[in-house]
Structure 1
């Protein structure tokens, strides 16, 4: 596309590209924007170096004019978007790219690969933390996904309320709080469970969490308290009927005097399993596979579409795909969240060509991220700010948004235009 547009002269036409999802994953009621900060990092680093240019030239993938363009490529346009942690709905313009065709079209795959993955993880994480209530959720999915995706998933999950991660690289790169646990291999390494527990406590102190279900849970709990004392930090359960086991272990710990010892549960948890454990004496959840695979929705289904371009006179005109089940709406969008007088979200209003008129209680959604190729909106992607934004954004949604049962989007999206 780039080569052909450069050759025809259309590559210099000013354009507007928008990233949005035509629909939410089946049965979901809202999505959560995540990955915007990583997009900004990627745009700043997006270059075609000597090795990339040589690869393209040797295989005659594009012509010399295109190679010259790519060798000098620096994004020089403007980008607006929903701040990280914000809830989104069908057709919400989560990222708006304003640039000439050549500079904008080349970013499509990079933008979509980041936003589709990170938003899918954050959306699943939001359902899990909602089900968990005040109990903390720990991200533990690194062994269940690609190594790079594991780091990104830990960041996205933290935005949506997970308190910590077992992925140390996510802690180093993004500042996500880290925590760890011992595996069954550590217990099996030693001659018996007591030896394993003593080694862990001697190294990490009595505040550590001991894995008590390698052999027999009841005996494991007794041994754990015998070794660490009643000040033992926690025990972890990783198999069996977690609800019944948690109830039995809580009673046993209390009887032994370890009334402050926490119970952490793991083992293929998802939002439904977490909700089912709400009535049990569980203190924290460790979530892995289901989180990093989006709990059944591994992609947010976002697309990157050209919605406006300059005509021969330089005027911007709306353009859109009109295929049956993949309809787009032309024109640059401006987004407003319609809220009631008491602050509850009622609708997503998308103005075409201009911001919809608010009623005093509404909230603008698009924030400036990049101006003339320079990142200017880092504050909208900072991790702790994104966590706070996620909490505020989801709290203003209707009660139905937080139900785990299948349903439609929690609020409707309305396009507003002067065209009759």
Structure 2
């Protein structure tokens, strides 16, 4: 977990105002009360998985590290807070010098999680930890939701290619984050150049229906594309008549045509017909790419179709019906002062209903059965049982305010593949169900 981040962290603005006002007003009140520097432990977790999901996917950790590193208040921000009377003078003085100086531990990116899993733990003064709450949750809730949807789609695809192409279906910054999370969850490429530039994700793209409509004939459009991009390009064949378009595509590009894309109609039926036609024309190596509002269920329904890759947009970048993971960030332990020798005391919300939480600084481990398959997520606050010592899940991310765990995005992607493979086979079922393994507390 110590390799350098291969992504481009360029032009990253301050993240300090990606927060809710009450984070700052709490700091103001705590400063006045003399409690702001009390040593504290906050944990991010979810009380339940989104309905029907059998496991969650940790994504956004690398973005969280960037956000923590860039969380500082510049003069313009401080002037805004002063002009809007958000906080008082002493609090502005505190914020002017703010840099997170605590420690952060968490599940490594790409790992799976379950209800109660302490996905991220921040330790430091109350003031510095509480200031990070909103930005941490906004990143983890969004990215983990997209990665979970991507993981389900990747499982349904059964090794066939997956293209993330949802940039036009969401906010422009969310599109970049979504492409990153989708890559962690198992997608292979993205159409979004900003994501490719920032995170080194492979990018793909050729043409839309507008390009065909621009030209006097479909043949002219195909010829222009092949002349520009080569015979290995992907030609869109459903602007007019698919059968005629496939024939023309092979006539123009030859048997070396890279792929054809189908974006409408009964994809199962059309894919079979196109595959037969391509083979009859001698283009046996030409691949078939399908798009058109796919989700994991549609992908699974095409398992028997001769499809080589799927392009997914809207359903992916909206979490396939589950756009958030409902993670929360709670104070679970605190000391009476800033003194490291002062013991931490467990604290927890005890409200009515399902919003209670468990106090104490937690560890987490995954217990395996005799075949090496996960059988329980074990969480505790006391000593770690010896048999679980080498199965602990939290890793050090930030030490004394310094990031210590940057890694290439491919490492998170590979970790997720391995973590998912270590779950019971029922985790891959798309039917609604309970978490695939239980959470046990010690």
Post-superposition offset of 1:387: 1.1
The match for 2:242 among 180, 193, 217 is 217
2:233 maps to 208
The 8 Å contact of residues 307 and 331 in structure 1, kept in 2 or not, is answered as yes
Say whether the 8 Å CA contact 1:151–1:169 is kept in structure 2: yes
Residue number among 353, 356, 363 corresponding to 1:334 in the alignment = 363
2:318 equivalent to 1:293: yes
Query: Is the CA contact (8 Å cut-off) linking 1:82 and 1:366 kept in structure 2?
Result: yes
Would the aligned equivalents of 2:45 and 2:118 in 1 still touch at CA under 8 Å? yes
SS of alignment partner, residue 394 of structure 1 = helix
1: distance between equivalents of 2:132 and 2:386? 32
C-alpha displacement of 1:160 = 1.1
| Per-residue CA distance 1:116-151 (angstroms, 9 max, x = gap) | 000000000000000001101010000001100111
Provide the residue aligned with 1:368 in structure 2: 396
Task: Give the match for residue 136 of structure 1.
Answer: 161
In the other structure, the counterpart of 2:22 is none
2:195 to 161, 166, 170: 170
- Give every structure 1 segment of 4 or more consecutive aligned residues whose post-TM-superposition deviation is greater than 4 Å: none
| Matching of residues 19-418 of structure 1 within 5 Å | 19-311=44-336, 314-323=342-351, 324-358=353-387, 363-379=391-407, 382-416=408-442
**Total equivalences in the alignment:** 413
User: Matches of 1:355 and 1:148 in 2, distance apart?
Assistant: 41
Residue deviations 1:44-77 (CA, integer Å, cap 9, x gap): 1111000110001111110011100111000000
RMSD of aligned alpha carbons: 1.1
* SS state at 1:12 partner: coil
Q: Distance in 1 between matches of 2:276 and 2:167?
A: 33
CA distance in 2, matches of 1:401, 1:156: 20
Aligned to 1:368, the other structure's residue is in SS state: strand
2:367 and 2:378 in contact (8 A); partners too: yes
Contact 2:105 2:394 in 1 (8 A): yes
For residues 358 and 149 of structure 2, the distance between their equivalents in structure 1, rounded to whole angstroms, comes to 27
- SS of residue paired to 1:303: strand
Structure 1 residue runs of 5 or longer lacking an equivalent are none
Paired position in structure 1 for 2:23: none
- Residues 334 and 356 of structure 1 are in contact (CA less than 8 Å); yes or no, is this contact kept in structure 2? no
TM-score by length of 1: 0.97
TM-score normalised according to structure 2 size: 0.92
The SS at the match of 2:387 is: coil
